[in-house]
Structure 1
Amino acid sequence: MSQLKFAIFFILLLLPELWGAVAAPQALGNISTNITDSFTSVARLITALSYIGGLAFSIVAIIKFKQHKDNPTQIPIGQPLGQACIAAILLFLPSFLGFVGGTLFGTDARTSGPTGQVYCSNTAAVYSAASCN
């Protein structure tokens, strides 16, 4: 137990910025800024999960196509076709949403982004308001 206390003391001695992080109060504005900044990360996470899910479904569809070729009575053709369609939807969903937004609202439309900043409906503007002039 004394070794654990010594290790904690040594870590806190080496990292004095942790002392201020624990003791410093945060204002309501800082808390709300932290929350809105995390929305950008959530949007990027959903985009990444869409790409990863699309790749996974495409790999599974290829394997199912091979299984259907080897034994067509066991695996119906609808199963790999459905998985290939889901893979295509997930792979093209992030870029498709950008194009749909541009079509519905025009290229000069201004909307609110995940950080609460106003940006134009440009696909690159989803992650930064600087690309909307």
Structure 2
Amino acid sequence: MYLIVLFLLMYCGLVYGATDLGDMASFIRGSFVALARLLTAVSYIAGLAFIIAAIAKFKQHKDNPTQIPIGTPLALSVIALALVFFPTILGIVGETVFGEHASTAGPKGVVYCSQRAAVTENSCF
């Protein structure tokens, strides 16, 4: 058992180890692309979850208005809309602030573009 672990640890440096500073920066830059995509996906999924929760709270308010105030489902609805439209709003705000064809530099080229708010790996167009 210990020999297997020792054998695996002996080769992990060859697979995952960076030989110089440039390789390290490349690995870190690659992880930022995944992080940007993860944040976009989490925003959409959390928005959908808040929509479902808001619908459930609206039903609870209809069944018993004294227990659930109307502000609770309305607040959940506003949060859901903000989360669902967050990636799109980033593109619109970028176009408003920086001009029509402006784009912000991301981990690999461009992450958010003025026309498309989706995360792309290389460029907008």
Aligned match of 1:58: 51
Aligned match of 1:68: 61
1:102 equivalent among 78, 95, 106: 95
Aligned match of 1:44: 37
- Structure 1, unmatched stretches of 5+, are none
Larger Rg: 1
Instruction: State the identity %.
Output: 49
Q: Which amino acid aligns with 1:64?
A: K
Deviation, structure 1 residue 7: 5.7
Change in CA separation of 1:49 and 1:101 when aligned onto 2, cut-off 3 Å: same
Deviation, structure 1 residue 107: 2.5
User: What is the Cα-based RMSD across aligned positions, in Å?
Assistant: 2.7
Change in CA separation of 1:130 and 1:118 when aligned onto 2, cut-off 3 Å: closer
The CA deviation string for residues 23-47 of structure 1, in whole angstroms up to 9 with x for no partner, is x651110000111111111111111
Q: Which secondary structure state, in structure 1, belongs to the residue aligned with residue 68 of structure 2? A: coil
Q: Which secondary structure state, in structure 2, belongs to the residue aligned with residue 75 of structure 1? A: coil
1:113–1:126 CA contact under 8 A, matched in 2: no
TM-score by length of structure 1 reads 0.75
Change in CA separation of 1:48 and 1:128 when aligned onto 2, cut-off 3 Å: same
Matched, 1:80 2:73: yes
Q: Which amino acid aligns with 2:22?
A: G
Matched, 1:91 2:84: yes
Aligned match of 2:15: 21
Between Structure 1 and Structure 2, the one with more helix by share is: 1
The CA deviation string for residues 36-60 of structure 1, in whole angstroms up to 9 with x for no partner, is 1111111111111111111111111
2:18–2:24 CA contact under 8 A, matched in 1: no
- Structure 2, unmatched stretches of 5+, are none
Distance in 2 (CA, whole Å) between partners of 1:108 and 1:34 is 29
Distance in 1 (CA, whole Å) between partners of 2:29 and 2:18 is 19
Q: Which amino acid aligns with 2:47?
A: G
